[in-house]
Amino acid sequence: MPKVLISDHVFPSVALERNVLESAGITLEEVKPPCKTEDDVIERCQGADVLLVQWAPITRRVLQALPNLRGVVRYGIGVDNFDIPAIKELGRMAANVPAYCQEEVSDHTLAMIISLARRIPQDHHQMVKGGWGIGPFLPIPAFSDLTFGMIGFGSIARKVSEKAKPFRFRQIAFDPFTPSAAFAKHGVESASLDTVLRTADIISLHCPLTAENRHLINAKTLALMKPGAILINTARGPLVHEADLVAALKSGKLSGAGLDVFEKEPLAVDSPLRGLPNVILTSHAASASERAKDMLQTQAAEAARDIVQGKRPQGALV
Protein backbone atom coordinates (compact mmCIF):
# COMPACT_ATOMS: atom_id res chain seq x y z
CA MET A 1 0.00 0.00 0.00
CA PRO A 2 1.21 3.56 -0.66
CA LYS A 3 2.34 5.37 2.47
CA VAL A 4 2.01 8.95 3.70
CA LEU A 5 4.20 9.96 6.64
CA ILE A 6 3.67 12.97 8.88
CA SER A 7 7.17 14.27 9.56
CA ASP A 8 6.10 16.64 12.36
CA HIS A 9 2.96 18.32 13.66
CA VAL A 10 1.43 19.96 16.74
CA PHE A 11 -2.15 18.68 16.47
CA PRO A 12 -3.79 16.77 19.32
CA SER A 13 -5.00 14.16 16.84
CA VAL A 14 -4.53 13.20 13.19
CA ALA A 15 -7.89 11.44 12.92
CA LEU A 16 -9.00 13.78 10.12
CA GLU A 17 -5.98 12.89 8.00
CA ARG A 18 -6.40 9.21 8.76
CA ASN A 19 -10.01 9.29 7.61
CA VAL A 20 -9.14 10.96 4.29
CA LEU A 21 -6.18 8.73 3.50
CA GLU A 22 -7.26 5.34 4.78
CA SER A 23 -10.60 5.64 2.98
CA ALA A 24 -8.52 5.96 -0.20
CA GLY A 25 -6.46 2.85 0.62
CA ILE A 26 -3.38 4.80 1.74
CA THR A 27 -1.44 4.05 4.91
CA LEU A 28 -0.80 6.96 7.28
CA GLU A 29 1.97 6.96 9.85
CA GLU A 30 3.26 9.60 12.26
CA VAL A 31 7.02 9.96 12.69
CA LYS A 32 7.96 9.89 16.38
CA PRO A 33 9.77 11.75 17.71
CA PRO A 34 8.92 14.47 15.19
CA CYS A 35 11.56 15.57 12.72
CA LYS A 36 13.36 18.85 13.34
CA THR A 37 16.48 18.62 11.16
CA GLU A 38 17.49 17.39 7.72
CA ASP A 39 19.09 14.34 9.29
CA ASP A 40 15.88 13.54 11.16
CA VAL A 41 13.86 13.58 7.93
CA ILE A 42 16.42 11.49 6.07
CA GLU A 43 16.64 8.91 8.86
CA ARG A 44 12.96 8.63 9.80
CA CYS A 45 11.07 9.20 6.56
CA GLN A 46 12.45 6.48 4.32
CA GLY A 47 9.74 4.62 2.44
CA ALA A 48 7.28 7.51 2.26
CA ASP A 49 5.42 8.20 -0.96
CA VAL A 50 4.33 11.62 0.33
CA LEU A 51 5.29 13.66 3.38
CA LEU A 52 2.94 15.86 5.35
CA VAL A 53 5.20 18.52 6.87
CA GLN A 54 4.75 21.33 9.36
CA TRP A 55 8.19 22.77 10.17
CA ALA A 56 10.73 20.13 9.16
CA PRO A 57 13.22 21.25 6.48
CA ILE A 58 12.66 19.82 3.00
CA THR A 59 15.94 20.64 1.29
CA ARG A 60 17.77 19.37 -1.78
CA ARG A 61 19.81 17.05 0.44
CA VAL A 62 16.65 15.59 1.99
CA LEU A 63 15.02 15.07 -1.40
CA GLN A 64 18.09 13.37 -2.84
CA ALA A 65 18.20 11.03 0.16
CA LEU A 66 14.53 10.06 -0.36
CA PRO A 67 14.51 8.96 -4.01
CA ASN A 68 11.07 7.32 -3.81
CA LEU A 69 9.34 10.38 -2.41
CA ARG A 70 6.72 11.65 -4.86
CA GLY A 71 5.81 14.87 -3.11
CA VAL A 72 5.53 16.99 0.00
CA VAL A 73 2.59 18.90 1.45
CA ARG A 74 2.96 21.82 3.86
CA TYR A 75 0.56 22.19 6.76
CA GLY A 76 0.00 25.89 6.09
CA ILE A 77 0.43 28.60 3.48
CA GLY A 78 4.09 29.58 3.74
CA VAL A 79 6.72 27.26 2.37
CA ASP A 80 9.86 28.82 3.81
CA ASN A 81 11.04 25.36 4.86
CA PHE A 82 10.67 23.91 1.33
CA ASP A 83 13.39 24.21 -1.32
CA ILE A 84 10.95 24.80 -4.15
CA PRO A 85 13.56 25.03 -6.96
CA ALA A 86 15.06 21.71 -5.86
CA ILE A 87 11.61 20.08 -5.64
CA LYS A 88 10.87 21.19 -9.18
CA GLU A 89 14.27 20.24 -10.56
CA LEU A 90 14.10 16.77 -9.03
CA GLY A 91 10.65 16.15 -10.47
CA ARG A 92 8.73 15.97 -7.21
CA MET A 93 5.45 17.65 -6.32
CA ALA A 94 4.76 20.21 -3.61
CA ALA A 95 1.54 21.69 -2.30
CA ASN A 96 0.30 23.91 0.49
CA VAL A 97 -3.15 24.81 1.85
CA PRO A 98 -3.67 28.27 0.31
CA ALA A 99 -7.12 29.04 1.73
CA TYR A 100 -6.13 28.19 5.30
CA CYS A 101 -6.77 30.71 8.12
CA GLN A 102 -7.49 33.76 5.97
CA GLU A 103 -10.39 34.82 8.18
CA GLU A 104 -8.45 34.18 11.38
CA VAL A 105 -5.30 36.06 10.37
CA SER A 106 -7.28 39.01 9.06
CA ASP A 107 -9.33 39.10 12.28
CA HIS A 108 -6.15 38.96 14.38
CA THR A 109 -4.52 41.71 12.35
CA LEU A 110 -7.50 44.02 12.73
CA ALA A 111 -7.67 43.34 16.47
CA MET A 112 -4.06 44.46 16.82
CA ILE A 113 -4.63 47.55 14.68
CA ILE A 114 -7.65 48.75 16.65
CA SER A 115 -6.06 48.06 20.02
CA LEU A 116 -2.82 49.88 19.22
CA ALA A 117 -4.50 52.80 17.49
CA ARG A 118 -6.56 53.35 20.66
CA ARG A 119 -3.41 52.97 22.85
CA ILE A 120 -5.04 50.14 24.78
CA PRO A 121 -1.82 48.19 25.54
CA GLN A 122 -0.10 51.30 26.90
CA ASP A 123 -3.04 52.25 29.12
CA HIS A 124 -3.41 48.68 30.39
CA HIS A 125 0.31 48.53 31.19
CA GLN A 126 0.20 51.71 33.28
CA MET A 127 -3.02 50.79 35.07
CA VAL A 128 -1.79 47.42 36.30
CA LYS A 129 1.11 49.36 37.84
CA GLY A 130 -1.22 51.83 39.55
CA GLY A 131 -1.19 54.60 36.97
CA TRP A 132 -4.07 56.59 35.54
CA GLY A 133 -4.77 59.01 32.69
CA ILE A 134 -4.22 59.12 28.96
CA GLY A 135 -1.91 62.12 28.97
CA PRO A 136 1.28 60.11 28.29
CA PHE A 137 -0.28 58.55 25.19
CA LEU A 138 -1.55 61.69 23.46
CA PRO A 139 -2.18 62.61 20.73
CA ILE A 140 -4.74 59.94 19.90
CA PRO A 141 -6.11 60.71 16.42
CA ALA A 142 -9.56 59.74 15.20
CA PHE A 143 -9.58 56.71 12.93
CA SER A 144 -11.03 58.83 10.12
CA ASP A 145 -7.84 60.93 10.23
CA LEU A 146 -5.53 57.92 9.86
CA THR A 147 -4.02 56.29 6.77
CA PHE A 148 -3.83 52.51 6.87
CA GLY A 149 -1.12 51.10 4.62
CA MET A 150 -0.58 47.49 3.57
CA ILE A 151 2.62 46.05 2.15
CA GLY A 152 1.36 43.17 0.07
CA PHE A 153 -2.24 43.01 -1.14
CA GLY A 154 -3.02 39.33 -1.48
CA SER A 155 -6.03 37.45 -0.18
CA ILE A 156 -5.44 38.05 3.54
CA ALA A 157 -4.66 41.75 3.08
CA ARG A 158 -7.85 42.14 1.07
CA LYS A 159 -9.86 40.61 3.88
CA VAL A 160 -8.20 42.97 6.37
CA SER A 161 -9.08 45.85 4.06
CA GLU A 162 -12.74 44.89 3.90
CA LYS A 163 -12.99 44.35 7.66
CA ALA A 164 -11.27 47.70 8.33
CA LYS A 165 -13.64 49.75 6.17
CA PRO A 166 -16.19 50.47 8.94
CA PHE A 167 -13.39 52.10 10.95
CA ARG A 168 -13.06 54.85 8.32
CA PHE A 169 -9.32 54.70 7.62
CA ARG A 170 -7.97 55.96 4.34
CA GLN A 171 -6.46 52.82 2.79
CA ILE A 172 -3.38 52.48 0.58
CA ALA A 173 -1.34 49.44 -0.40
CA PHE A 174 1.86 48.44 -2.17
CA ASP A 175 2.02 45.23 -4.17
CA PRO A 176 3.89 45.12 -7.49
CA PHE A 177 2.32 41.75 -8.36
CA THR A 178 -1.31 42.81 -8.00
CA PRO A 179 -3.15 44.27 -11.02
CA SER A 180 -4.54 47.78 -10.63
CA ALA A 181 -8.09 46.47 -11.06
CA ALA A 182 -7.81 44.58 -7.77
CA PHE A 183 -7.00 47.77 -5.86
CA ALA A 184 -9.91 49.58 -7.51
CA LYS A 185 -12.29 46.71 -6.75
CA HIS A 186 -11.54 46.96 -3.04
CA GLY A 187 -11.48 50.74 -2.90
CA VAL A 188 -7.80 50.86 -1.95
CA GLU A 189 -5.27 53.27 -3.44
CA SER A 190 -2.29 51.65 -5.13
CA ALA A 191 0.91 53.27 -3.88
CA SER A 192 4.65 52.83 -4.06
CA LEU A 193 6.51 51.25 -1.17
CA ASP A 194 8.09 54.62 -0.42
CA THR A 195 4.66 56.28 -0.27
CA VAL A 196 3.29 53.65 2.11
CA LEU A 197 6.30 53.97 4.38
CA ARG A 198 6.25 57.78 4.41
CA THR A 199 2.50 58.45 4.65
CA ALA A 200 0.79 55.58 6.48
CA ASP A 201 -0.04 55.94 10.17
CA ILE A 202 -0.53 52.17 10.43
CA ILE A 203 1.50 49.73 8.32
CA SER A 204 0.55 46.06 8.12
CA LEU A 205 2.80 43.48 6.47
CA HIS A 206 1.16 40.91 4.20
CA CYS A 207 3.95 39.67 1.94
CA PRO A 208 5.70 36.31 1.71
CA LEU A 209 9.28 36.01 2.89
CA THR A 210 11.80 36.07 0.04
CA ALA A 211 15.53 36.71 -0.19
CA GLU A 212 14.73 40.17 -1.53
CA ASN A 213 12.44 41.32 1.28
CA ARG A 214 14.16 39.76 4.30
CA HIS A 215 14.52 42.59 6.83
CA LEU A 216 12.32 44.82 4.69
CA ILE A 217 11.62 46.73 7.90
CA ASN A 218 15.00 47.93 9.10
CA ALA A 219 16.66 51.08 10.42
CA LYS A 220 16.50 52.73 7.00
CA THR A 221 12.83 52.00 6.29
CA LEU A 222 11.82 52.73 9.88
CA ALA A 223 13.43 56.16 9.54
CA LEU A 224 11.12 56.87 6.59
CA MET A 225 7.97 56.20 8.61
CA LYS A 226 5.86 58.91 10.15
CA PRO A 227 6.59 59.74 13.79
CA GLY A 228 4.14 57.78 15.91
CA ALA A 229 3.38 55.18 13.23
CA ILE A 230 2.21 51.67 14.16
CA LEU A 231 3.65 48.48 12.63
CA ILE A 232 1.74 45.18 12.42
CA ASN A 233 3.33 41.89 11.37
CA THR A 234 1.19 38.76 11.10
CA ALA A 235 3.03 37.57 7.99
CA ARG A 236 6.63 36.35 8.44
CA GLY A 237 8.99 37.21 11.28
CA PRO A 238 12.19 37.82 9.28
CA LEU A 239 10.48 40.60 7.32
CA VAL A 240 11.41 42.74 10.34
CA HIS A 241 14.87 43.43 11.77
CA GLU A 242 13.88 43.13 15.41
CA ALA A 243 16.79 45.05 16.93
CA ASP A 244 16.02 48.02 14.70
CA LEU A 245 12.33 47.78 15.59
CA VAL A 246 13.10 47.74 19.31
CA ALA A 247 15.19 50.90 18.90
CA ALA A 248 12.34 52.63 17.05
CA LEU A 249 9.81 51.65 19.72
CA LYS A 250 12.05 52.76 22.60
CA SER A 251 12.85 56.09 20.98
CA GLY A 252 9.20 56.89 20.30
CA LYS A 253 9.70 56.88 16.53
CA LEU A 254 6.92 54.27 16.45
CA SER A 255 4.02 54.51 18.88
CA GLY A 256 3.44 50.77 18.86
CA ALA A 257 3.77 47.40 17.17
CA GLY A 258 1.69 44.25 16.95
CA LEU A 259 3.75 41.12 16.30
CA ASP A 260 2.53 37.56 15.87
CA VAL A 261 5.70 36.30 14.15
CA PHE A 262 9.37 36.71 14.97
CA GLU A 263 12.83 36.34 13.47
CA LYS A 264 13.42 33.26 15.60
CA GLU A 265 10.63 31.30 17.22
CA PRO A 266 9.82 30.84 19.99
CA LEU A 267 10.74 34.40 20.95
CA ALA A 268 13.69 34.40 23.32
CA VAL A 269 12.78 34.76 26.99
CA ASP A 270 15.17 37.71 27.28
CA SER A 271 13.99 39.48 24.12
CA PRO A 272 13.65 43.22 24.79
CA LEU A 273 10.31 43.10 22.96
CA ARG A 274 8.81 41.34 25.98
CA GLY A 275 9.35 44.35 28.22
CA LEU A 276 7.90 47.10 26.02
CA PRO A 277 4.53 48.60 27.06
CA ASN A 278 3.62 49.68 23.52
CA VAL A 279 3.79 46.23 21.92
CA ILE A 280 1.27 43.43 21.50
CA LEU A 281 2.98 40.04 21.28
CA THR A 282 1.20 36.83 20.34
CA SER A 283 2.82 33.45 19.90
CA HIS A 284 2.32 32.80 16.15
CA ALA A 285 -1.36 32.41 17.02
CA ALA A 286 -3.09 34.49 14.34
CA SER A 287 -4.12 31.38 12.41
CA ALA A 288 -5.72 29.66 15.36
CA SER A 289 -9.33 28.49 15.43
CA GLU A 290 -10.89 25.05 15.54
CA ARG A 291 -12.48 25.62 12.14
CA ALA A 292 -9.15 26.62 10.58
CA LYS A 293 -7.31 23.69 12.16
CA ASP A 294 -9.82 21.20 10.83
CA MET A 295 -9.63 22.75 7.36
CA LEU A 296 -5.84 22.62 7.42
CA GLN A 297 -5.60 18.97 8.41
CA THR A 298 -8.32 17.84 6.01
CA GLN A 299 -7.11 19.77 2.96
CA ALA A 300 -3.47 18.83 3.56
CA ALA A 301 -4.48 15.16 3.67
CA GLU A 302 -6.54 15.57 0.49
CA ALA A 303 -3.51 17.05 -1.26
CA ALA A 304 -1.36 14.12 -0.13
CA ARG A 305 -4.01 11.68 -1.36
CA ASP A 306 -4.14 13.39 -4.76
CA ILE A 307 -0.37 13.21 -5.16
CA VAL A 308 -0.40 9.49 -4.37
CA GLN A 309 -3.16 9.02 -6.94
CA GLY A 310 -1.23 10.91 -9.62
CA LYS A 311 -3.51 13.94 -9.58
CA ARG A 312 -2.54 17.59 -9.34
CA PRO A 313 -3.72 18.69 -5.88
CA GLN A 314 -5.41 21.88 -4.88
CA GLY A 315 -2.62 24.16 -3.69
CA ALA A 316 -0.03 22.62 -6.04
CA LEU A 317 3.15 24.72 -6.11
CA VAL A 318 5.15 22.79 -8.71
Residues noted as catalytic: 236, 265, 284
Residue (of 309, 307, 284) closest to 54 by Cα position = 284
Residue (of 136, 141, 103, 100) closest to 121 by Cα position = 136
Q: To 10 degrees, what angle do helices 290-308 and 15-22 make?
A: 30
- Distances from the Cα of 121 to the Cαs of 76, 114, 117, 277, in angstroms? 30, 11, 10, 7
Q: Give the bridge partners for 51, in sequence order.
A: 5, 72
The answer to whether 121 and 142 are in contact (CB under 8 A) is: no
Query: What are the phi and psi torsion angles at 218 (to 5°)?
Result: -140, -175
Q: Compute the distance between CA of residue 68 and CA of residue 83 in angstroms, rounded to an integer.
A: 17
Burial class (CB in 10 A: 0-12, 13-18, 19+), 179: exposed
Angle at 302 (CA atoms; ends 69, 3), nearest 5 degrees: 35
The answer to whether 148 and 174 are in contact (CB under 8 A) is: no
